[in-house]
Structure 1
Amino acid sequence: MKKYRRIFVVVLDSLGAGAMDDAAQYGDAGTDTLGHISASVERFTIPNLQKLGLANLHPLKQVAPVEHPLARYTTLREASCAKDTMTGHWEMMGLRTTVPFKTFTDTGFPPELIAELERQTGHKCIGNKSASGTVILDELGEEEIATGHMIVYTSADSVLQICGNEETFDLQELYRCCEIARKITMRDEWKVGRVIARPYVGKKRGEFVRTSNRHDYAVKPTGRTALNVLKDAGFDVISIGKINDIFVGEGITEAQKSKSSVHGMEQTIAMTQRDFTGLCFVNLVDFDALWGHRRNPVGYAQEIERFDKKLGELLPLLRKEDLLILTADHGNDPTHTGTDHTRERVPFLAHSPSMQEGRRLKEKPTFAVIGASVLDNFDLTMPENTIGTSILPELI
């Protein structure tokens, strides 16, 4: 008989907990997202994460360990040869990635790719470089509005992003162009993990604001995951945030978009009032998108504090047959050089009101223990060609 009826897996996107042993190979030696955020600010008020045991797991300058933590806690190593959103989430559900997706951070996209994109969309491409989304809007938004050209840019991630003004470019036209870009970038030499539509509003520099109508066009998972098994067995698989985009709908029974990480937590809190059986899988992207990539440790710390307040609302609503898992998909140390993700271990905190006590667990060799444990809870097994061994007995 299954132990838990509802499992909530909440991904604090990019909240790494210290460099992996091979971090130097990725240019990330000495990185520590959580530790360096704590070291960068004077105040760090996270009472709910504290009582779960976050400071027991990872030393924090302002936050003391607690004598009786509520969670079972450890760190997870990444088995995949990568440090990005898609591979991190895919690994949680059993897929190990051995060849990272392409990035075009230093050079922009090849002229041949841009020419093909222009030919098929009918729009001239401007930009074609690595940039902050807000900065490139101030630089090129007025030109895009005046000419109908298309702003194309990338970042430190494996992404091709296209901006379009909702009032002049048209949202559906933006989506059409992104669908074309997705097909073009399926070629091995151009394959990026995601094409992202970045709609915005405003008429002039300094007034441009990106809207919540963002849409991600990701590569489909390379095989069946724990999500497929859950769905096929008749269980609920509810995604909140960009989970549905990351898995391209594979194994998802219900998808909810989020306007922000705070909104994502409000949606998760609302799910505690729903009578479902299965998994609620949540991604909170603002840690990464707003603060990690922009190398802002103060903003990142404040985002964690906002999360902690919502966590304080969530915890009393959990039932004895609920399991809450907090984790991350990679690091993004806001004190590190550049703007890229960082190759780090990730935290793992598991809590249920039915747990007798919290304690430290031995570090695990892969994120995939999450998906394997979820399936084990519902008497299911991982699909072929996946990794991950259940640690459910340690979570009861």
Structure 2
Amino acid sequence: MHFVHICIAFMLLFLGCSKEPEKKEVSSATFELLTTEENFTAGEAFALHFKASGEASPNLIFRNAVGTTVLKPSVVDDTLQFAIPKNFYEKSGICYWSLNSDSEEKMTGTFNILVNNKNGTFLESYLGPRSLTAGPIDYAMFVMLATDFYDNPLNDSTSIYSKVQFQDSQSEKELRTKNLMAWSLVRSPKKSGRMLISSACNETDSKEFTTIVYPANPVDFTISYERNHEYADGNQVITFRTSILRDTYGNIVGDGTLVGFIITDDKGARLKAQGTTLNGKAAARLLHPEQKASWSVEAFVTGAARSAPIKVAFKASVTDYDIHFSENYRTISVGPLKSFMDQLVPDGMPMALTVSDTTGKVLDILRTSSMQGEGQFKLSADFFPNDTYELQIKTAGITKTKSVALK
């Protein structure tokens, strides 16, 4: 009990010595805004002026697109001046301020910083893509951004002129800025060539932009051929050529356009050749066949155009030839092979000898080529023992058979 009485005594003593809560004093100072301007120009220094009555230690909270800052005043002739920092007064747009004294907001307000057109206009322009396809479907986008010296966007509805030059024509279009920029769709003309584009705002001109207008996809075309003679000698060259490839607007297609030639012979076999265009034409070359043939030829630009098929016929250059056998029939000489003017065929004419037994089973196929118009086969005793065989000799598209008894 004695201990409890001591604790109660200490509590009474503590409560009796505690201070009363301090009362917050409200500032009695008043302020008057002396600055009457509501609009300022970007890049031009300015300050807000206030007149104060009573003792006060105010500060100004200033906010715009740059951010927020707290300003301390300077006193000039009993006037409070709040100088706006440079990075804040160079930014155009609406500004907000709040005057506070002793943690109490005394006044608030707004004003505008306007774009500065006194130091010239800066103009940025962007164009893309830089290549177009002829015709009204394709287009490039031309974007223009106009700012003042301090990189502030010019006011909405500022005039910007877009200029386009192509061949003998030149046009100019007035555009209006909105939300920083102005833009225009530059349609591709029907003719191929180089198109120049630029822009202008106030007294500032942009650099020159270039876009290349390429021909559109080619339309169907025709093909022809050239050759020295019509004989299938396997030696001469036949050249296939296209007409001038143009698009639907009459533009010659660009150099290097790939053209494929498909050749189908009378047996259904196919050959393929390719050529690239130069000045709108493409060519491909093939050797004449080695035997009488009829070709059907077509040309294609993949995914775009094709030609109508043409027929090319080749006459046989060799109509007959002789075969000579040695005494034991193991050496077979073919020729001489003579062409359409009784001249010897060029070296390299393929020859084939098929050896079969009497039941028709193919035992071997021997191959050689002509030299000085002749070719020769030898049947070795190591591979072909003495017996009766069926020989089939084929060259220049002519096949001859002979049954021989090897010795």
- Normalising to structure 2: TM-score of the pair? 0.16
Greater RCO, CA 8 A, separation 6+: 1
Which has the larger share of strand? 2
- Greater C-alpha Rg: 2
